[in-house]
Structure 1
Amino acid sequence: MLLSLPTVLALKMAAGLLADRLFGEVRRFHPLVGFGRWARAVEATVRRLLGEQRFAGALAWALAVLPWAALALWLRGLHPLAHWPVDIVLLYFALGGRSLAEHAEAIAVPLDAGDLDEARRRVGWIVSRDTRALDAEGVARAGTESVLENGNDAVFGALFWFLLGGGVGVLLFRLANTLDAMWGYRTPRYLHFGWAAARIDDLLNAAPARLTALTYALLGDTRRALACWRAQAPAWDSPNAGPVMAAGAGAIGVALGGAAIYHGELEQRPPLGEGPPPDARAIRAAVSLVRRGVLLWWIVTAAMALAVLSLAGLPHA
């Protein structure tokens, strides 16, 4: 029996999510680590030949990303069934759900135990801010914000582009997101060169970020999450991180945002959410929000597949 596209996507999505849950992040020879090396080589070559203007950054982005998308398309075309393993493997490599939960728990455990030095060290693995002088509340704030934001970047954004474009779609999204993390800073080095990477990531994240924010709102304190999203997100520098973190903070009922040190400079960030200061429980609540969101997304995808089967009059379990 020929399977409908929604059914195929639901099955592939289930397989990719299961692989991420069972195996987690690849410990050695992770493809994104290899891509990072490739991107640095591309950057060095383009900078040497063309300088650091916006055009050079846009060309470097294309040279870094598009050959891998072409390779994925070629692999999918090798056999009529090749799209199954290619898409599932690409989704698995793109997802970071289990890894995100493990990093979060590695922060929450020493925070609960009063081991602030270890908690600072652990949170420093997943955030770009300076964590050396953070107090317990600052560590919890950084960890909670990172879980909420990466819930979009490493989970829901990947699922959105997988559902929209299969393995090639999720590959393009994840590589673009990686380049934004490498080149998208407003520092003297990347102010012009990283412009394209930042703008492309903003564009690709626009829809999934708002769906992530809606997911958080539906699975938490909906009224407060929507109110925080509406009132606080416009003040945030990032057009996509603002809705995600404001809605997430409102959904779990904590106050985030505030001062943080990035690249040696103190930044006064707008408030996010509403409620008491975060602690280890807030980090775990953010992880729970992401996990329940993943289940909701798969249920909706599976329901759409069943609806298509019913409308087509095809047999289904």
Structure 2
Amino acid sequence: MEEIFNQLYSNGTLLVMWGALLFHLIIPIPREAHPVTLWHKFAEQLAEKVNTNTHYSQSLISGTLAWLLMVIPAILVLWALKPLVWQPQLFELALLLLALDWRSNEKLANGLTKALAHDDKKTARTLLSPVLNRDTSSLSALGLGKAGAETIIMGYGRNVVCVLFWYAIADGSGALIYRLTAELARAWSPSRARYSPFGLTVTRTVAILDFIPLRLFALFIVCGNKAFHTFKTMLIQSPSWPLPGPAWLLTSVGNKLELSLGGPAIYNKRKSVRSKIGGRIAPSAIHLSQVQTLIAWRVFAWILIQSLILFTVYQGF
């Protein structure tokens, strides 16, 4: 027993991951004060300055250069800081803490569940407004349920699962750079006309980074009751969704709980046609609670399996 404890203690990567999760769950960084929120605001300000081209190729090049202008300095700063830190493990812990965002998703899910249960559409719209790229003022109860479910699913998928995946691959720096890149993709989402094609490059980059972790996590969702039916329907529906990683994750949760997701959405007063995925049940308060419970338990399973893999890999070295 003592030998196992010593092995766990000597595994800095595993200790940092569990330490970051523990600190984040106990003392989360408020969304309003989070550095990623400032990063998002700066990205919007930068886009206002450089996203002025009306020609498709010029706008695409501007978006690519803007993404590089944001990400490359961040990578250089992290690379330059590494040799200067007193304790590398504490540095990795700080980076992973900045990249993780579990509690915000949990808080959003609980708030939306309570608001929709009391038919308080005004509060639900207010909760969704900072995290949704579309206008929430006209969303009905059905629209709020769908938007809430999709936001919760993708929030856990990208801000927890993908962050932990890239931490395992490239330590805290990789996790934080992924999170910053994903935030740029959200800030410059091409679903809004003014960012198309400006945000295409960063969106495609995030789609590549999402591909493996989100698809693996979708398989975690599929496991259990109705596994074969959920997997089969997921494979049928997912090609109709624009991004491959989110396609698997959204369709797996939608079909697992038989919830209706997707469908038309309005971005900046322009209607966007999206495929309908999932089941036939309109998401309501109780269904958002079920989504959160399902994903939270699957995230715990993901963490345990990733911990086991990290422990095994580092023991091999």
TM-score surpassing 0.5? yes
Q: Does 1:12 align with 2:12?
A: no
> What are structure 2's unaligned runs of at least 5 residues?
none
**1:246 and 1:214 mapped to 2: Cα distance?**
11
Which runs of 4 or more aligned residues in structure 1 lie more than 6 Å from their structure 2 counterparts after TM superposition? 1-6
**How far did residue 294 of structure 1 move?**
2.2
Identity %: 25
The more displaced of 69-78 and 298-307 is 298-307
**Which residue is 1:54 aligned to?**
60
Q: Which residue matches 1:315?
A: none
How much has 1:88 moved relative to structure 2? 1.3
Match of 2:30 in 1: 26
Q: For the structure 1 residues 6 and 273, does the alpha-carbon distance in structure 2 shift closer, same or farther, using more than 3 Å as the test?
A: farther
Corresponding position of 1:35: 39
User: Structure 1 residues 114, 173: closer, same or farther in 2, change over 3 A?
Assistant: same
Structure 1 residues 232, 201: CA separation in 2 closer, same or farther (over 3 Å shift)? same
- The structure 1 residue matched to 2:69, chosen from 63, 66, 72, is 63
Return closer, same or farther for 1:259/1:302 CA change in 2, 3 Å cut-off.
Answer: same
Corresponding position: 1:257 with 2:262: yes
Please list the CA deviations of residues 214-259 of structure 1 after superposition, one character each: whole Å capped at 9, or x if unmatched.
2222266423331232011101122322111001112223222223
Counterpart code for 1:190: Y
Map 1:143-154; keep pairs closer than 5 Å: 143-154=148-159
Alignment-derived partner of residue 98 in structure 2? 93
Letter in 2 for 1:31: P
In the TM superposition, residue 190 of structure 1 has moved relative to its aligned partner by 2.2
How far apart are 1:147 and its partner, in Å? 0.8
Q: Contact 1:75/1:86 (CA < 8 Å) preserved in 2?
A: no
- Please give the root-mean-square deviation of Cα atoms over the aligned residues, in Å: 2.9
Matched position secondary structure for 1:39? helix
Secondary structure, counterpart of 1:184 in structure 2:
coil
SS at match of 2:196: coil
- Name the CA distance, whole Å, in 1 between partners of 2:61 and 2:31: 35
Give the whole-Å Cα distance in 2 for the aligned partners of 1:169 and 1:61.
16
Q: Which runs of 5+ in 1 are unaligned?
A: 313-317
Deviations 1:153-196 (A, max 9, x none): 21111111111101111121111101111123144432232222
* TM-score, with length taken from structure 2: 0.87
| Letter aligned with residue 12 of structure 1 | V
Contact residue 111 and residue 136 of structure 1 kept, 8 A: yes
1:273 to 270, 278, 286: 278
Give how far 1:48 is off.
7.6
Post-superposition Cα deviations, 1:101-122, rounded to whole Å, max 9, x if no partner, equal: 1011111102112223322332
* Number of residue pairs matched by the alignment: 311
1:137-161 residue CA offsets vs partner (Å, 9 max, x unmatched)? 2221111111112221211111111
Which of 139, 151, 155 is the aligned partner of 2:160?
155
Q: Which residue of 1 aligns with 2:78?
A: 72
Amino acid at match of 2:38: G
Rounded to whole Å, the distance in 2 between the matches of 1:23 and 1:31 is 15
Distance 1:66 1:4, change over 3 A: farther
Give, in whole Å, the separation in 1 of the partners of 2:140 and 2:194. Answer: 31
The question of whether the paired residues in 1 share the 8 Å contact of 2:164 and 2:175 is answered with yes
SS of residue matched to 1:189: helix
SS at match of 1:256: strand
Pick which of 144-153 and 21-30 moved more. Answer: 21-30
Residue 114 in 1 paired to residue 140 in 2? no
Would the alpha carbon gap of residues 306 and 201 (structure 1) be closer, same or farther in structure 2, given more than 3 Å must change? closer
Q: Give matches, 1:233-252, under 5 Å.
A: 233-252=238-257
Structure 2: distance between partners of 1:231 and 1:6:
46
C-alpha distance 192-306 of structure 1, shift in aligned 2 (>3 A): closer
